[in-house]
Amino acid sequence: MVKRRGHKLITHILLIVIVLITAFPVLFALITSTLSFKDAFVFPPIMIPGGHFISNAVEAWNRVNMGRLFLNSLFISIVVAVVKITLSLMAAFAFTHFKFVGRNLLFPMSMITQMLPLPVRIIPTFELMNLFHWINTYYALTVPFFASTTGILLFRQFFLTIPRDLSDAARVDGVKPMRYFFQVIVPISRTNISALFVIEFIFMWSQYLWPLVVINSANMRVIQIGLKMLLASEQIAPEWNIIMAGTIIAMLFPLLVLIIFRKSFSQGIAMQTDK
């Protein structure tokens, strides 16, 4: 119906402008990360990429031990995402396929959980880490993040759309619950699993406050804190070419995860908002 050509042209122009404005900060970060120190410091700033990205990245990498920080971030993000997804699948299976006392506690529980973001409980949680001797360990970086009512609700909603006949037939045939879980439930949840993986991976990769608080050894730091260190290591003249190279490295992986899982991610989100 509303198919005026001018209308479409305007939409295209608007979108291109918006894409450029949104990308602008990263584009300039990218350009600067390819410049030599001298070129990164001229005014007016240079708008054309140079050829120094590799050497800048290597310098950033060496300066704050980025290789290790990168691996730490990768490790904790994958571990937390995988464990969270596993525990959520298990809990959602319990809530949807069994009758038990406490079954209707899911919503109160998720409501309370949402009321407790880390900052409102950070002091005792930190003291708990001391008590457990978990300061400067992967335990501190991962275990407190393992439970997710977000994930439970996401899977629950999806499990409720699975035709009941399926589990009825399985029960009539005497299939054990856990076998049904592994052979039916988990495989058909693939899309939701990937969607949740993207969400949890990026969530964990971006963590800043908690790693800052529970880690003070150079080897256990995460990459986000590495950015702060790159900035702090500069007192007089910040070497923006090196700092931006570090920043690009820090944003690469979550971006990659988003791109790889893009399709199932969008599908998973769409499924969620569709009541």
Partner 1 sequence: MESYFKSKWLPYLLLSPTLIILAFFLFYPAFETFLLSFYKVAPYGNRKIFAGLFNFKQMFSDKDYIYSFTLSLIFSVTVVLAGLTVSLLIALLLNQKIKGARVYRSLLIWPYALSPAVSGAIFRFLFNPANGYMGYFTKVLFNIEPKWLTNGNLAFVVVIVAATWKNLGYNIIFYLAGLQNVQKEALESAAIDGAGAVRRFRAITFPLLSPTTFFLLVMNIIYSYFASFGLIDVLTEGGPANATNILIYRLYRDFFVNSRVGYAAAESFILFVLVVGITILQFKTTGKKVYYQ
Residues of span 46-85 touching partner 1 by CB under 8 A: none
Among 44, 51, 174, 187, binds partner 1 (CB under 8 A): 44
Residues 6+ apart with CB under 8 A from 65: 218, 219, 221, 226
Tokens in use for 155? Answer: 């899977």
Amino acid symbol at 198: V
Give the three-state DSSP class for 51: coil
d(CA 108, CA 149): 10
Among 231, 267, 266, CA closest to 246? 231
d(CA 142, CA 200): 12
Q: How far apart are CB 244 and partner 1 at their closest, in Å?
A: 6
| Contact range with partner 1 by CB under 8 A, out of 53-61, 62-70, 93-101, 182-190 | 93-101
- Compute the radius of gyration of the chain from its Cα atoms: 24
| Contact range with partner 1 by CB under 8 A, out of 23-31, 54-62, 64-72, 183-191 | 23-31
Cβ proximity to partner 1: between 171 and 190 the closer is 171
Q: How far apart are CB 238 and partner 1 at their closest, in Å?
A: 7
Q: How far apart are CB 271 and partner 1 at their closest, in Å?
A: 9
| Contact range with partner 1 by CB under 8 A, out of 53-61, 64-72, 101-109, 182-190 | 101-109
d(CA 157, CA 159): 6
Among 26, 78, 79, 184, binds partner 1 (CB under 8 A): 26
CB count in 10 Å sphere of residue 211: 21
Cβ proximity to partner 1: between 54 and 123 the closer is 123
Question: In the range 171-210, which residues lie near partner 1 by CB under 8 A?
Answer: 171, 177-178, 180, 199, 202-203, 205-206, 208-209
Among 58, 78, 82, 90, binds partner 1 (CB under 8 A): 90
Q: How far apart are CB 72 and partner 1 at their closest, in Å?
A: 14
Q: How far apart are CB 62 and partner 1 at their closest, in Å?
A: 18
- H or E element in which residue 12 lies: helix 5-33
Cβ proximity to partner 1: between 14 and 218 the closer is 14
CB count in 10 Å sphere of residue 53: 18
Among 53, 72, 254, 264, binds partner 1 (CB under 8 A): 254
d(CA 127, CA 143): 15
Among 4, 6, 51, 100, binds partner 1 (CB under 8 A): 100
Q: How far apart are CB 219 and partner 1 at their closest, in Å?
A: 19
Question: In the range 106-125, which residues lie near partner 1 by CB under 8 A?
Answer: 107, 109-125
39 secondary structure, DSSP code? G
Among 54, 160, 218, 255, binds partner 1 (CB under 8 A): 255
- H or E element in which residue 6 lies: helix 5-33
Question: In the range 138-157, which residues lie near partner 1 by CB under 8 A?
Answer: 143-144, 146-147, 149-150, 152-154, 157
Burial of 273 (0-12, 13-18, 19+ CB in 10 A): exposed
